[in-house]
Structure 1
Amino acid sequence: MARRKTARDTIKDVADLAEYHETAACLDELIRKDGAGSWPPRANHEHSTWPAALRPYKEIYYEMAPLLPAAEVSLDDELNKQRIAQFRSRFDQLLRERVSLREVTQLLEAADAGRWDVFPRDVYNAFYSCIAWCRHAYRWGTIPAVKVAQLERTVSFPAQLTAPWASLQAHFGLTSDAGNMTANLVLNFCSSSGPGHEEEKYVYRINTGLPPEEGKRNAAPKSEEAFARVAREMERLAVPVYGDVVRAIVAFAQGDGAACLAHVRAVAAQLRPALGSYYERVHDGTIARAVWLSRVQGFYAWGLRSSQGCEKDAGSGDGECHETVDGLSGNQVLLFQVLDAFLGLEPYLPREVLERNVPRLQREFCAAVGRHAFRHRLGKEGVEGRIRDELAETVKRLRLFRSAHRSRAKVYLTVPAPERLPMTAGKSLLKADMEQSMQFLDQFMLGRLQQTV
């Protein structure tokens, strides 16, 4: 019986094809560079392996994290303002006292120069996640996210969180002030903590330090970790999908219809476990509805004006940028972008949003897949007809997933959260009330579902 291929086998196969086809070259570069030689990307959060200048960031986050979640939800705006101000003040103080920005800058410059012996890629990835988490904690100042924080248009971040972030974002080809799915979720697992994905440790947490009592607050830590593991696990299970997408494209380019059919069939088959990681976890028994909206989702939002400047409101007369930066969104997940490109579907996210929130090498891989997508070139008879049928099966599974996600999203997003205004992480502030907001969101999800054909 043939040995089942591992992710490492797939990664090697892609590397072997890199000199022969653009899609393989792009995926290989993504894995070697952003993935630190693996996929999902490796992130080494082991404290002792970090350069000394970076360690204070992790220490400070762990010191501040227990102060972030409020034991009781407050509807008092003045009390919430005070709580946020105190949190940020303490964060500022610790950063000033413990971080040498000069030494941190030197390390980042070494990485920019390709000195990965000084700043290994897997540690770089972990540091990227750490800074993203620090920035989101500083942005909100308390969890659950509350109305007074949502209504802020700008927040003055300390230099210790702005200078490294600018360098890290430039490295990954991004422009957003906010974190993203890669930084906040996929990289928030310590790859050095064990050889198997089951042993990967969830590193930075939102809901730590809550009273150890029964009830919905006790469900928050488990729910946030389960939510994060969906993103990590989906990427792990997507590796063979990416490999067969590349091999299908290569086979089609070589005129090998039988091989192309086999790889397209494999894409459809392997999509089942990848999407299954969502179905198995995103339900009330694993991610508690009672806590997700207030104690998990809000942390990943952003909702501030861009610090980068924008042209959208150049004629507004006040010389300011009024473009709101959004936070994490499931539309940033690489698997769905690759599938859309492979199936010849239009990207859901506009180019400027992709450039803000999806790392450059991920964008380039998806763009290469889209350039070589062949579904629209297939005939209806013979092997091409069978390939067309298998691609239709992939479309069917993707439609089913988007329909299920639409239904489950409504269930989670309609849980009462009186401390805040209607908001999602990926769309920031919405309409005045939840009913209007859900209509607004549902149109987005319905539109994407209707495009998946």
Structure 2
Amino acid sequence: MASLLLRLASHVLYAYTGPPASPKSSNPDLSGIFATTASPAHALEQLLKKSGGTWPPSPTFDSSWPAPLRVYHATYELVAPIFPVLESSTSGAENRQTIDAMRARIRGLLSGDPTFDAAQCSADMKAVLSVLQDAEAGCWSGYNNQSMQSAMLGFCACVCFLRHAYRWGVSPVVREAQIETSLSFPLELDEPWLLLQRYFGFTSPGGGLSTCLYFNTRGVDTNFKPFYSSVHGLPQLHQKTADWDARLFLETEHRSLPMYRLIAETISACSSFAGECPLDALTSLKEANTVFQDTYRFFFENMKDENISHALWLAYLQGYTGWALPGADGVVVNGVSGGILPVPPAAEEALHLPVAQRDWLRSLREYDIRAKVQSAIERCADAPESTVAESWQGMQDELQKMVQKLRLWRMGHMSRMISYEGVHRPERVFMTAGRSIPPEGEVSDETGMVQHLRGVLQERLIQTV
């Protein structure tokens, strides 16, 4: 389970690669070190602006959309009750029939096929595309920028659900869908998606944490209950598992927003001074550390079987949000997270993260505060006033505390995820979050898959220094 919080911590902390060579001086000038052209504070402001004014985002749903878009919600209402099943079939022939029937239903509903007697689902594609193109131009009549942005977030979540339902045909996902290597979507799902990709700035054909969860929330007042549910109509334990799965991601981000602001404030304060570390910067960083600790405590205190069933999570949530089909420009899409390596390849990051999120993370990566602080310490080493170096050493100490917290996070993540990923599901091919289906012959059973996952997580832990 990965979130923007982990990515942020990674980019703040991983960008540091050791002290750069820098001259020492008895009268050090630090202005060049801490100057910045990419303002994290501005990038964070833009992230909020493009998320409906809040973080996590504030989507609104069907009643807030222009009429041509509401057919997608109407389609969801007819598809959602029949998408999940309590008992999975292990018969390839039976599953093939189920998948094909679901795809025919979605195509028929959106195309207005009279066989389905659901005129409320028929998409007027000319009107749909006109509405979405107007959104790109920022000119929805009767909407301000924030209300239009919120409506687009919710609409994206709806189309995302329908694309996943079409992709898998049934949930829990089954081998018959997993082993497919290509799939043609109806134009009613493809053409809006292309515009949504362009509008939000991501490339994945399946979406990611943003489109599956961040854009699909009813907000803090409902504990971030998902609006579009992949467990519609299933028993209470399924509902609770889905609700807590979403809540862990979304409330973690909600609790992290003060930390994001404090880190931006820390950088702004550092950038304003040329000598001793400003007290405001050190104070903000200490407060950010406290928020980080409280946030990861919330995450791990609630990531437990009592809230998120081991047996049900992998079957109904990890599988549904996977993809494992050739994606944009031939990139194979391996699930929703796209990995949280220290500096993921730009193409991989663009698959899953909208541009506003990438810009925020990029501003932190480019600023590279750990390297700047270390460089300040190096330059101040021979300064007559030793308190100058000591003040920057205080910043370095706080950053190192964040590294240790991230290490603890990763160790906890590794130990908890193993039990969730190791559940046996006979109807499916072995698949893990963030990687989906491994190459043929690489993993033979769940134990092998767990060992692979453990190795990946251990590698990330080693990198966290």
Instruction: Determine if the TM-score, normalized by the shorter chain, exceeds 0.5.
Output: yes
CA change 1:92–1:425 in 2 (3 A) is: farther
> 2:266, 2:282 within 8 Å by CA — same for their partners in 1?
yes
Work out the percentage of aligned pairs sharing the same amino acid. 31
Residue 45 (structure 2) aligned to one of 21, 28, 39: 28
Paired position in structure 1 for 2:195: 167
Residue 414 (structure 2) aligned to one of 406, 425, 429: 406
Q: Distance in 2 between matches of 1:141 and 1:356?
A: 23
Residue 294 of structure 1: how far off its partner (Å): 1.0
Q: Distance in 2 between matches of 1:75 and 1:206?
A: 20
CA change 1:20–1:175 in 2 (3 A) is: closer
Paired position in structure 2 for 1:309: 329
Residue 266 (structure 2) aligned to one of 243, 248, 251: 248
Residue 41 of structure 1: how far off its partner (Å): 1.2
Paired position in structure 1 for 2:244: 226
Residue 21 of structure 1: how far off its partner (Å): 6.7
RMSD across aligned positions (CA): 1.9
Aligned length: 397
Q: Distance in 2 between matches of 1:76 and 1:201?
A: 34
Paired position in structure 2 for 1:11: none
CA change 1:225–1:200 in 2 (3 A) is: closer
Paired position in structure 2 for 1:128: 156
Q: Distance in 2 between matches of 1:200 and 1:39?
A: 12
Q: Distance in 1 between matches of 2:41 and 2:258?
A: 13
Paired position in structure 1 for 2:111: 96
Residue 267 (structure 1) aligned to one of 275, 288, 293: 288
CA change 1:200–1:440 in 2 (3 A) is: closer
The SS at the match of 1:324 is coil
The 5-angstrom pairing of residues 71-220 of structure 1 reads 71-97=86-112, 98-117=122-141, 120-191=148-219, 196-198=220-222, 200-210=224-234, 212=235, 218-220=236-238
The SS at the match of 1:423 is coil
The SS at the match of 2:89 is coil
The SS at the match of 2:196 is helix
Letter in 1 for 2:281: C
Q: Is the counterpart of residue 43 in structure 1 residue 59 in structure 2? A: yes
* Larger-gyration structure (1/2): 2
> 2:224, 2:247 within 8 Å by CA — same for their partners in 1?
no
Paired position in structure 2 for 1:441: 453
Residue 273 of structure 1: how far off its partner (Å): 2.3
Q: Distance in 2 between matches of 1:328 and 1:444?
A: 16
Q: Distance in 2 between matches of 1:176 and 1:353?
A: 9
Q: Distance in 2 between matches of 1:20 and 1:330?
A: 28
Residue 197 of structure 1: how far off its partner (Å): 3.5
Residue 279 of structure 1: how far off its partner (Å): 0.8
The SS at the match of 1:309 is helix
**1:47-89: CA deviation from partner (whole Å, max 9, x where unpaired):** 3222111111111112111111122121111111111111111
**1:394-431: CA deviation from partner (whole Å, max 9, x where unpaired):** 11111100110011111100011111111023211023
Structure 2 unaligned blocks of 5 or more: 1-35, 113-121, 379-388
Residue 330 of structure 1: how far off its partner (Å): 7.7
**1:237-265: CA deviation from partner (whole Å, max 9, x where unpaired):** 11111101111111111225211111111
The 5-angstrom pairing of residues 335-374 of structure 1 reads 346-347=342-343, 349-374=344-369
Paired position in structure 2 for 1:340: none
User: TM-score, normalising length from structure 1?
Assistant: 0.84
Q: Distance in 2 between matches of 1:442 and 1:271?
A: 24
Q: Distance in 1 between matches of 2:436 and 2:312?
A: 19
Q: Distance in 2 between matches of 1:51 and 1:243?
A: 34
**1:265-311: CA deviation from partner (whole Å, max 9, x where unpaired):** 111100022223321221101001121111221000001122x333x
Q: Distance in 1 between matches of 2:332 and 2:157?
A: 22
Q: Distance in 2 between matches of 1:48 and 1:440?
A: 45
Q: Distance in 2 between matches of 1:86 and 1:52?
A: 28
Q: Is the counterpart of residue 416 in structure 1 residue 432 in structure 2? A: no
Letter in 2 for 1:188: N
Paired position in structure 1 for 2:405: 397
User: TM-score, normalising length from structure 2?
Assistant: 0.82
Residue 451 of structure 1: how far off its partner (Å): 0.9
> 1:181, 1:330 within 8 Å by CA — same for their partners in 2?
no
Q: Distance in 2 between matches of 1:278 and 1:85?
A: 39
> 2:88, 2:427 within 8 Å by CA — same for their partners in 1?
yes
Q: Distance in 1 between matches of 2:75 and 2:452?
A: 39
Letter in 1 for 2:100: A
Q: Distance in 2 between matches of 1:60 and 1:407?
A: 40
Paired position in structure 1 for 2:279: 258
CA change 1:425–1:162 in 2 (3 A) is: farther
Residue 288 (structure 1) aligned to one of 306, 309, 312: 309
CA change 1:280–1:81 in 2 (3 A) is: same
Residue 117 of structure 1: how far off its partner (Å): 4.2
Q: Is the counterpart of residue 61 in structure 1 residue 76 in structure 2? A: yes
The 5-angstrom pairing of residues 316-327 of structure 1 reads 323-327=331-335
Letter in 2 for 1:159: L
Structure 1 unaligned blocks of 5 or more: 1-18, 213-217, 311-322, 338-345
CA change 1:20–1:363 in 2 (3 A) is: closer
Paired position in structure 2 for 1:329: 337
The SS at the match of 1:419 is coil
> 1:84, 1:140 within 8 Å by CA — same for their partners in 2?
yes
> 2:338, 2:348 within 8 Å by CA — same for their partners in 1?
no
